[in-house]
Structure 1
Amino acid sequence: MATAEPLARTETDVAPGRGRRRWSRPRLRSEGPRTNRRSLPARVWKERSAYVFLLPGVLIFSVFTLAALIFAVYLTFHRWSIIEPDKPFVGLQNYRDMMHDKQFTGSVLNTIYFSGASVPISMAIGLLLALLVNLPLRFRGVFRTAFYLPVVTPFVVSAILWKWLYNGDYGLFNYYLLKAHIIDGPLLWLSDKNLAMPAVILMSVWAGTGFSMVVYLAGLQAIPEELYESARLDGAGALQRLRYITIPMLRPTTLFLVVMGVISSLQVFTQIFVMTSGGPVNRTTTMVYYMYLWAFKYFDMGYASTLAFALFFMLLVFTAFQLRFARQGFEA
């Protein structure tokens, strides 16, 4: 849109009696948006300090993440043994072998079993502990620290500690169960095919409950106190306030814990490696541990990379399903 500039005065006397006012003709100008005609190299050079600060992170990501990911995709199409010079191209053979691998199917079922048990139990106990330490108790800071301490304890240390507790000869679990006459003989917790996975799940729940407690505690403290006051005035009891206020208001927190818990549990490895080594008879072999066996015991990096991408797509599907389910719940 063209607009006229104010009329420009020429050299005249504006005082009365000293001359005549003369006005020049208005000049038209365009007020369209200014276009940045600076070239891309010039703009990059102008912001060079920002790119210098970003460069180390970009290089690290490119070398250790992006390049590694591309190379892993390349490995899936080869029989890539780290101890043999010949690394033939096999196409989709690794994927076909994976689809017919019964041990891989068993590792998937074991992983789902572990996730389906450990995640809900950790969240439920974490919510209970968060409700308790949110009360105006004495020394509640001490209790919060004690409940969160297993989270910051190195996982290897925790796994070794629990392996001692599960020991069939001098473990504390068998000792107290025998003293209480609950069992007649010592249990082989990590050697029994029916007890090994529940024993690992119990250890994982102990190690992960503190994280759920802290996240739920943050969610509880974000709930407005006015809602509870209004519910008390309406005669709502503690269970009714928990059902109709606390749990609905904690729905985003619960979604976060479910997604993070499933992602973490599908990648379980440390406690399996330290406590059971996948036994007995592969009853505790999870996907990541099975991947480790093919990479560092059988030295077939091609098949191990194929298993890694299978785990990636499983994580992707689970996360997308959870987010979609949660979105439908929010909309409802």
Structure 2
Amino acid sequence: MGVGKYENGLENNLAGYAFISPFIFGFVIFTAFPIVASLYLSFTDYDLFTAPAWAGLENYSNMFTTDAKYWKSVKVTFLYVFIGVPLRLAFALMIAMLLNTASKAIGLYRTIYYLPSIIGGSVAVSIMWRNLYGDEGVINNALNAIGLDSVRWFAEPLAALWMLITLSVWQFGSSMLIFLAGLKNIPGALYEAANVDGAGPVRRFFSITLPMLTPIILFNTIMQTIAAFMTFIPAYIISKGEGGPLDGTLLYSLYLFRQGFVFFDMGYASAMAWVLLIIVAVLTAVLFLTSRLWVHYESKEG
């Protein structure tokens, strides 16, 4: 009996492994192996056409000491992340609160507002955004209509960066849906009690809505920060792959791409990728460590 149970258990385990083998195979070949390979390549001089030559810490040394463009890409990326992510989350929360109402067409509204997140990172939208901000585009025409001068979006570095930031803010749909789910979970009794006490909309927002949403804010902040650091397509299309003007849109991922597939320095690009991983990991850890100061969770009884 014991041997039979053992054999049946072994057969069940083998069947389970057989079912998950495609995932395991794909993970090892397309994820685990490239990660290990990129770590090795980051210590080599590799141009994609010849065998990698061991270079030790040379790539990291050049990155931190001699490559001015690298530090420019870091600065541009940090500006993009630390300005764009808060604006994106604030806009998403505002729209979520507007959609948190009882209406027969609310499902349609939510779908319409979510669409930018589905198509926002596409090549077509990036091209559309480039045309909107052209010298004779809709944005400059709107500025002229209200008596303001046109902005040279593709000639001024800061203006070009703001063009990317507005595109990232426009892609607020995923964060909005998560905020909306969080708003639905706030007990209505809290608002009823606040109304009885005479609290106005602003007081209810800062005393009830915002504290109850802090776990959702933490989650959205982490996810959107990671996504912002990996932004590539909009910067590539809008700047035509150059990161201009004057490296004003040279995001980290774009510069990494140029090093690996334009200058064929895959060893240097791999080193940049690992530094980016460390930067994102540190920022994520900081968010988690500081969350105990501002994130409020519901108390558990018993």
SS in 2 for 1:135: coil
- Identical residues among aligned pairs (%): 32
Partner of 1:53: 19
Q: CA deviation at 1:230?
A: 1.5
For the pair 1:218 / 2:185, whether they are aligned, the reply is: no
Which protein shows a greater Rg?
Answer: 1
What's the CA shift string for 1:148-196, capped at 9, x where partnerless? 121111522221111110111x31111222232222xx43212222311
Q: Distance in 2 between matches of 1:41 and 1:96?
A: 57
Does residue 187 in structure 1 map to residue 154 in structure 2? no
Question: Deviation digits for residues 35-66 of structure 1, max 9, x if unmatched?
Answer: x999x999544421111112111111001111
User: Residue 292 of structure 2 corresponds to which residue in structure 1?
Assistant: 327
The change in CA–CA distance for 1:53 and 1:174 in structure 2 (over 3 A counts) is same
Shift of 1:145: 2.3
Contact 2:116–2:170 (Cα < 8 Å) also in 1: yes
Equivalent-residue separation in structure 1 for 2:218 and 2:159 (angstroms): 30
Give the alignment partner of residue 190 of structure 2, picking from 220, 227, 237. Answer: 227
State the Cα distance separating 1:331 from its structure 2 match: 7.4
Could you tell me which of 244, 252, 274 is aligned with 1:287? 252
Counterpart residue identity of residue 92, structure 1? L
Q: What corresponds to 2:207 in structure 1?
A: 244
Is the contact between residue 235 and residue 249 of structure 2 (CA under 8 Å) also seen in structure 1?
Answer: yes
Shift of 1:327: 2.9
Gapped regions of structure 1 (runs ≥ 5) = 1-35
The equivalent of 1:147 in structure 2 is 113
Shift of 1:291: 0.5
| Distance in structure 2 (CA, Å) of the matches to 1:67 and 1:87 | 16
Once residues 248 and 60 of structure 1 are traced to their aligned partners in structure 2, the CA distance between those partners, rounded to angstroms, is: 42
CA contact 2:215–2:295 (8 Å) conserved in 1: no
RMSD: 2.2
Does the Cα contact within 8 Å between 1:219 and 1:250 map onto a contact in 2? yes
1:111, 1:266 within 8 Å by CA — same for their partners in 2? yes
User: Could you say if the C-alpha distance between residues 153 and 242 of structure 1 is closer, same or farther in structure 2, counting changes exceeding 3 Å?
Assistant: same
* TM-score using structure 2 length: 0.90
Q: Deviations over 1:277-322 (max 9, x none)?
A: 3101112111111100110111011111000000000111011110
The one-letter code of the counterpart of 1:59 is F
1:141 CA drift (Å): 3.1
- In the alignment, the residues of structure 1 paired with residue 52 and residue 176 of structure 2 have an alpha-carbon distance, to the nearest angstrom, of 49
Matched ranges for 1:57-72 at <5 A: 57-72=23-38
Tell me, in whole angstroms, the C-alpha distance in 1 between the residues paired with 2:181 and 2:279.
Answer: 30
Question: 1:165 is matched with which residue?
Answer: 132
Deviation (angstroms), 1:103:
1.2
TM-score by length of 1: 0.82
Structure-2 separation of matches of 1:132 and 1:105: 40
Instruction: Tell me, in whole angstroms, the C-alpha distance in 2 between the residues paired with 1:96 and 1:258.
Output: 32
Q: Is 1:306 matched with 2:271?
A: yes
Q: CA deviation at 1:75?
A: 0.7
* 1:268 aligns with one of 231, 235, 242: 231
1:171 and 1:328 map into 2 onto residues whose CA distance is 45
SS at structure 2 position matched to 1:47: helix
SS of 2:54's partner is: coil
CA shift for structure 1 position 144: 2.0
Residue matched to 2:74: 108
Larger relative contact order (CA 8 Å, sep ≥ 6): 2
Contact 1:190 1:199 in 2 (8 A): no
> Comparing both structures, which one devotes a greater share of its residues to helix?
2
| Residue in structure 1 matched with residue 300 of structure 2 by the alignment | none
Q: Deviations over 1:243-296 (max 9, x none)?
A: 111100001100011000110111111110000131011121111111001101
Counterpart residue identity of residue 308, structure 1: A
